[in-house]
Chain A
Amino acid sequence: DSGVTQTPKHLITATGQRVTLRCSPRSGDLSVYWYQQSLDQGLQFLIQYYNGEERAKGNILERFSAQQFPDLHSELNLSSLELGDSALYFCASSVGTGVGYEQYFGPGTRLTVT
């Protein structure tokens, strides 16, 4: 158990819908990362937050957005869902940023778009 929690574990929804994935980092961690793992694209970095502020963006679609709240939990919002958005979405957290701190991964949320 990494100490990072993600809810829900599984999510099945239809095309065009909107979903919210939630992540609670390890106690004391200030950085939160979101990654997408799909069969065709592999594991890809989506976005990073550090202490409530967006730090970096990766291959995140405009239909996707995220935020980190004052209590440091984070939410990833996916809208206008397409079949290709079906993937495993990981949240990771680390204590800081910039010097290769270990990122601890949550168990992931499996999203299935039908």
Chain B
Amino acid sequence: AQTVTQSQPEMSVQEAETVTLSCTYDTSENNYYLFWYKQPPSRQMILVIRQEAYKQQNATENRFSVNFQKAAKSFSLKISDSQLGDTAMYFCAFMKHMNRDDKIIFGKGTRLHILP
């Protein structure tokens, strides 16, 4: 079974700093998808970034980028020039490719505080 581990329950950084959230996962699959979801205080789940395992190039979305290390089964999220609005719970997540189901397996989350 697939598992997703986020080793940092909580982090705090100053506004405008860069922060990296860690995530490791365990799978025997070769093709899969990895995601980072953001859950602000409003509780809405928002997709931040998506990585396809067969792509070697790391995904980027504006200030958000990932460091995808397939052999190490590591998928960290870097937030550059952090903003107060980045304060949220961040979930790393995994989905199999071409499986019967598309269930997303989530990590326990990292609570990120951006300090003014």
Best-buried of A2, A88, A103 by chain B (most CB within 10 Å): A103
B52 at the interface (CB under 8 A from A): yes
Best-buried of B91, B102, B106 by chain A (most CB within 10 Å): B102
B108 at the interface (CB under 8 A from A): yes
A31 at the interface (CB under 8 A from B): yes
Q: Is the CB of B97 within 8 A of A100?
A: yes
As a 0/1 sequence over residues 31 to 44 of chain A, the CB contacts with chain B under 8 angstroms (1 = contact) are 10101000000111
Interface residues on A, range: 20 to 34
B interface secondary structure, majority: loop
Number of B residues contacting the other chain (C-beta, 8 Å)? 24
Cα A77 to Cα B28 with chains together (Å)? 34
Q: Among A2, A33, A42, A102, which residue has its beta carbon within 8 angstroms of that of B106? A: A42
Question: Which residues of the partner chain A approach B104 to less than 8 Å between Cβ atoms?
Answer: 33, 35, 45, 103
Chain A-chain B contacts (Cβ-Cβ < 8 Å), number: 64
Question: Which residues of the partner chain A approach B98 to less than 8 Å between Cβ atoms?
Answer: 98-99
Question: Which residues of the partner chain B approach A56 to less than 8 Å between Cβ atoms?
Answer: 100-103
8 Å CB interface, B76-100 against A: 91, 95, 97-100
Shortest distance in angstroms between A103's beta carbon and chain B's nearest beta carbon?
Answer: 6
Cα A110 to Cα B46 with chains together (Å)? 17
A interface secondary structure, majority: strand
Given the interface pairs A55-B101, A56-B101, A88-B43, the reply to whether A100 lies near B108 with Cβ below 8 Å is no
Q: Among A42, A103, A107, which residue has its beta carbon within 8 angstroms of that of B102? A: A103
Shortest distance in angstroms between A73's beta carbon and chain B's nearest beta carbon?
Answer: 19
- Chain B interface residues (CB < 8 Å from chain A): 33, 42-47, 50, 52, 91, 95, 97-109
- Chain A interface residues (CB < 8 Å from chain B): 2, 31, 33, 35, 42-45, 48, 55-56, 58, 88, 90, 92, 94, 97-105, 107-108, 110
